[in-house]
Structure 1
Amino acid sequence: MSARFEELAWRETPIGEISLRRRLDPRLGVEVYEVKIDDEFLMSSLFTVAEIELARLGLAALPACARPDVVVGGLGLGYTARAVLEDPRVGSLLVVDAVGEVISWHERGLLPEAAALTTDPRSRLVEGDFFAMAAGESGFDPDAPGRRFDAILLDVDHSPRHVLAPANADLYTVAGMRRLAAHLRPGGVFALWSDDPPDAEFEAVLAEVFDEAAAHVVAFPNPLTGGQSANTVYVAI
């Protein structure tokens, strides 16, 4: 295997073959970490601005005096979770991922800066189905059933319309959002990353459940095209 490309990990999962690979981009002169499910690219270390903004925008909606307990749904390459821990106000972070292999990438140090998540005493990585947890009364913390949080940040599906598994779609309905909101403390924040432009139908769902909701368009340079790309971060309180 050449130094320009290395498959670091691979495993069959219920959602397909998931793999982590590292490659050297000769044009950009940087190492790129990528996650694929089967033949579909799921995430890349070249595009992390909106994942980081998911944490920053979500936590910015909380009072400055808050010491929030936070859930992140979807670990991936860890950018959202690490951005949460960069906020000194954060009291605890629970990261939920359905694929144990993804958690093991961080525990085994296969990703840069993985230690920021695995050694911070505020942080726990939990294997579980975020969507099933959101729909159930026990919630996200297996050690404390019914525990509520100040912020729930989600980055799993491509968007509310483009989900990785059909069962996930229920979360983005009024009923699904109400079940998720039940796991928030009063004044708590739900924030969602989306690869699509703002969706008026989903904004209406959020408005039905939460007192305030906004869709933030996060633009960033695209090093592959030389132009700009954009994602959406929804924030609801």
Structure 2
Amino acid sequence: MRFEEIDWRETPIGVISLRRRRDPLLEVDVYEVKLDDEYLMSSLFTVAEVELARLGLAELPGTGFDVVVGGLGLGHSARSVLEDSRVRSLIIVEGLGEVIEWHQRELLPLSPSLARDARNRFVHGDFFAMAGSTAGFDPVEPGRRFHVILVDIDHSPRHVLDPSHAGFYTTEGLRRLGSHLHPGGVFALWSDDPPDEEFNSALAEVFTTSQAHVVTFPNPYSGGVSANTVYVATT
């Protein structure tokens, strides 16, 4: 089959759809998520999502890590977290219950490895509201702290999916986020834009260390190289 619309749902932020198509050039099945007419993600471009998890976890010594991933998507960042044997628990916060359901129904290639891993728990909620609250990310244990918080939701700190997210990327929003980390904990963020000096300055003001990593990967359609940014900061 050259094309299949696996699921299509009306949501508060628009129509979200999960599609699979056969790419004739690469001869692979490509999974894509669209919000209305905008492409949110593709299984062809997952290098930076994997690097988000790898770079975030690389900052930590020891073992027994409790991790939060904000944004489930196709599951590549979450799967990379669970591939690290030092991870004790993972909470994936996703704002769209439809996306969680896709993985619970095992509609995507990585879904079984997420849904069946006892360390993982899906939480349906607004990541940004949780980040700004005192209760935090675990409804079962309000106020719980974590060793790593990884975020891949908006396109970038400047290009957000909803205006209500913008405050998260300010110094005040980052301070609130940092309050949910253990001392020495790590915050990492995926961005589709080049490193942003204004956001780098906010990170430097709030966190002990911060760095913007440019992650490059081949683009089979352009024949060249594309790039994303992964920001990593430690308390």
* TM-score over 0.5 for the pair: yes
Sequence identity, in percent? 69
2:36 matched residue in structure 1? 38
In 1, Cα distance between equivalents of 2:54 and 2:12: 31
Which aligned pairs between 1:195-214 and structure 2 lie closer than 5 A?
Answer: 195-214=192-211
Please say which of residues 73-82 and 222-231 is displaced more in the overlay: 222-231
**Cα RMSD (Å) of the superposition?**
0.5
Correspondence 1:219 to 2:216: yes
After TM superposition, the score normalised by the length of structure 1 is 0.98
Correspondence 1:93 to 2:110: no
In 1, Cα distance between equivalents of 2:12 and 2:51: 29
The runs of at least 4 aligned residues of structure 1 exceeding 4 Å deviation read none
In 2, Cα distance between equivalents of 1:157 and 1:95: 16
The aligned amino acid for 1:54 is L
Q: Equivalent residue of 1:91, what SS?
A: strand
Q: Equivalent residue of 1:150, what SS?
A: strand
Please say which of residues 7-16 and 37-46 is displaced more in the overlay: 7-16
1:14 to partner: Cα distance: 1.3
Q: Answer whether contact 2:70 2:94 (CA < 8 A) is retained.
A: yes
2:23 matched residue in structure 1? 25
The aligned amino acid for 2:47 is V
1:124 to partner: Cα distance: 0.5
Q: Equivalent residue of 2:87, what SS?
A: coil
In 2, Cα distance between equivalents of 1:139 and 1:113: 27
Q: Equivalent residue of 1:52, what SS?
A: helix
1:67 to partner: Cα distance: 1.6
In 1, Cα distance between equivalents of 2:97 and 2:41: 17
Where in structure 1 are there 5+ consecutive unaligned residues?
none
1:66 to partner: Cα distance: 2.7
Pick aligned residue for 1:72 from 44, 69, 82: 69
In 2, Cα distance between equivalents of 1:16 and 1:187: 38
Deviations 1:105-147 (A, max 9, x none): 0011110121110111100011000000000000000111000
In 2, Cα distance between equivalents of 1:196 and 1:15: 22
1:230 to partner: Cα distance: 0.3
